[in-house]
Amino acid sequence: MSRNDRLLKKAQWLSMHEKMFKCPICGSSMKVQQLASLVCENLHSYDISRQGYVNLLSHRAKTKYDKALFEARKMINSSGFFGPMIEGISNRLIRMQKQELPESGKPLRLLDAGCGEGSHLSAIGHNLREQGHESNVVGVGMDIAKEGVVMAAKTYSDPMWCVADLSQCPFADEQFNYILNILSPSNYSEFRRLLTSDGMLVKVIPGSLYLQELRALFYTGTGKETYSNDGTMELFSRHFERIEFEELQYRVVLDSEQMKQLIHMTPLSWSVSSEVIERMSGGEMEITADFTLLYGWK
């Protein structure tokens, strides 16, 4: 698809769904103008990029997440490391759809808050469509890191991709049936505001054994060999009326190239010297994936 076609397609999508958005600066409603930008009642304007995303940040944000990191994440995603976790979330959403919205025909609106380079949302959207929600899945991915959103937009034409700030989400109230928040920071008051009254938040956090092999190598003797998610669980349960959780553990063998990408992608390695990283990524390794999937209803 050429860049102009992509821009046109995104602008048409935004025109159809403009009620979903609100201005992150003044909170007023927005309209697509000249198939090129979203403009609010007070004339704050947000351009639709030719790469196929819309930048809804009112300021330039600095993040630690650069292009190389998202490249690494994308490679790890395609290695299948997150496969069972994505499958677990997809199956849960498919079950929910069957129980709670049987044959309603209403669009299923899905926000990935912290979508990074977009592969999780893309895979989950694909799984939902395979279950017969062809034209009914309306997906939106947002991330404050522009590098991730650009990569998502270039790779996946389908959902809408936005650069946006979690503390000022550029969406009107009660727009989403499901919010995904996968290994990414939360803003619970915004999530509650954006969810429909029967909507569900899906948050994925690492379990205590997540990447334990890397943890052991990087952190031996520092007191950081183990990790607890108790604080996150506690905070989550304070914000939602009804919660459920599911634990998911599995092991994946990664080759030396994938090991390099995994090490690069994880914050565990940010304080470790490059020689140590080089030494570690010398060969194949079996790595533990351990996730807690938290589900919350308001």
Contact residue for Zn ion among 8, 9, 25, 239 (CB under 5 A): 25
Q: Does 259 bind Zn ion (CB under 5 A)?
A: no
Q: Which is nearer to Zn ion, 9 or 44 (CB)?
A: 44
| CB of 10 closer than 8 Å to CB of 35 | no
Which of 175/184 has CB closer to Zn ion?
175
Q: Which stretch binds Zn ion (CB under 5 A): 34-42, 74-82, 172-180, 257-265?
A: 34-42
Give yes or no for residue 39 binding Zn ion (CB under 5 A). no
Applying CB under 5 A, which part among 16-24, 66-74, 130-138, 224-232 lies near Zn ion? 16-24
Cα distance between residue 298 and residue 9, in whole Å: 34
Among 44, 67, 126, 154, binds Zn ion (CB under 5 A): 44
CB of 31 to Zn ion, least distance (A): 11
Dist CA 191 CA 209 (whole Å): 28
Q: How far is CA 290 from CA 63, 73, 82, in A?
A: 26, 17, 10
Size of the site for Zn ion (CB under 5 A): 6
29 is a site residue for Zn ion (CB under 5 A): no
CB 172 within 8 A of CB 28: no
| Binder of Zn ion out of 29, 42, 63, 91 (CB under 5 A) | 42
Token pair 């650009």 is at which residue?
150
Closest residue to Zn ion, judged by C-beta, is 23
CB of 40 to Zn ion, least distance (A): 3
26 binds Zn ion (CB under 5 A): yes
Query: Minimum Å distance from CB 162 to Zn ion?
Result: 15
Tell me the window of 25-33, 113-121, 154-162, 290-298 that interacts with Zn ion (CB under 5 A): 25-33
**Interaction of residue 23 with Zn ion, rule CB under 5 A:** yes
40 binds Zn ion (CB under 5 A): yes
Name the site residues for Zn ion (rule: CB under 5 A).
23, 25-26, 40, 42, 44
